[in-house]
Amino acid sequence: MLHSTWRGYFRRVALATALGAVAAGLTAVTPLAPSAAAAGTLQQVTGFGSNPGNLAMYEYAPAKLPAGAPLVVALHGCTQSASDYHTHSGWQKFADQWGFAVVYPQTGPANNSLSCFSWFDSTKDTRGRGEAASIMQMVDTAVAQYGSDRRRIFVTGLSAGGGMTADLLADYPDVFAGGAVDSGIPAQCATTQTAASGCQYGNQNLSPKQWGDKVRNSYPGYSGPWPRVAVWQGSSDTTVAPVNGTELRDQWTDVWGIGQTASSTRNLTGGTTESIYDDGTGKPAVALFSVSGMAHGLAVNPGSGADQCGSTGTYYLNYICSSYHTAKFWGLDGRGDQGGTGSLPAPPGLTVTGTTGTGASLSWNSVSGAALYNVYRNGTKAGSATGTTYTDTGLAPGTSYSYTVAAVDSSGAVGASSAPVTATTTGTAPRCYTANNYNHVQAGRAHQSGGYTYANGSDQNMGLYNVAVTHTLRETSPGYFVIADSGC
């Protein structure tokens, strides 16, 4: 479901609205408290910027999220909402398990009668404009709040949210390390609402280069690195024709400068075929997941298994946990940049044995066949050890870091990653101050202009200059303050 001009769609939507209002995203969400957001709950964030696209921002982060963790942006489909997507998609499970924050942009009837993101409107889905610009403001706000790793920001979306995801990847390849388009449309397939139906239902008969040019022309002069893109498409989708999956594959393989012949193919659960397209270094750049028999929606697979997630509902279909495989494709499972192509199991017993103001010491149990072990800090390789201990140095005081370890065999193949552990260095963390906007200005932590308050250093908009609005500011360096309402 993508925009309000579809013929025949309204009959389906009327039934879905009447019978599935709760599944369509009418769950209430607690707004972000002025002083601090509660970790482990979905919260609304206000005052995240000028918001030219008239969107709402919601966010979720697990308790004690360490600095330097990844950030995922997840966009709902038509007739849905942020809370609906959070409830059904499965992203919360993996945010808790692997340690990352999730931002859920939300559109509504004021923008589109069916609450669709405007992937087909060049005034709203291009770099620096409309909804795309609002989502970038959300990213900047979340990065400041959580201290997210700007090298590991990802975006995913369903249907119209998938179409907007493709546009965002094209508009901001300098921001997003990867993306996933679920039952969506290639980047910039349509630039007007009247052209949208043609993209949904038919083959555009464009060459891979022509598709790739739509990405390259979205940010002229940019030459890479490009985001790693996963594409999910049901073979029985009558709302977004399956050819869109092929066109997305063509588009992003051409951007990467690789062919359209898969480097590897395998069968997964739920009738899913995974086709991987490697870059020049042999690392997966594009993945196409074709789900046999699946209609229009997001693939979920309720259950308690490691590779299961989500719950069924309107446009949430029980086939396979797409969020799990997408997160693995991006490396959010803690493997970071190591690839994980080897057969060695995850090292058990990873433990923090000690910390100082600038270091953390780790130990783990050995793995048979391991030549050495790679140690990853916040998903990025920190170093290697031939034994089962490692001390990481050069860290910031009073700061939490997430660590995983993977065994490497004699051929250099890296095995599965351990479960993560968190180490917090000793000493004093960056100072935080909670006050109303007026007092922040009086104390020299912020300034006011035009009736609004802005944090010194970061210039983040804190809202109206008065005593009724309260924020927590974190001083990350002398005189540089960022909004830290989610906790310090």
The dihedral sign for the CA sequence 272, 2, 196, 188? negative
Contact yes or no for 218/191 (Cβ under 8 A):
no
Beta bridge partner(s), residue 65: none
| Residue 311 three-state SS | coil
- Print the SS3 string covering 406-438: EEECCCCCEEEECCCEEEECCCCCCCEEEEEHH
Whole-angstrom distance, CA of residue 199 vs CA of residue 191:
10
Assign residue 436 a region (left: φ > 0; alpha: ψ between -120 and 50; beta: otherwise): beta
**Catalytic positions:** 159
Assign residue 432 a region (left: φ > 0; alpha: ψ between -120 and 50; beta: otherwise): beta
Contact yes or no for 327/333 (Cβ under 8 A):
yes
Query: How many other CB atoms are there within 10 angstroms of residue 321's CB atom?
Result: 28
| Residue 229 three-state SS | strand
Of 183, 148, 151, the residue nearest 164 (C-alpha): 183
Of 314, 374, 317, 364, the residue nearest 340 (C-alpha): 374
Whole-angstrom distance, CA of residue 251 vs CA of residue 254:
5
Of 390, 391, 344, the residue nearest 367 (C-alpha): 344
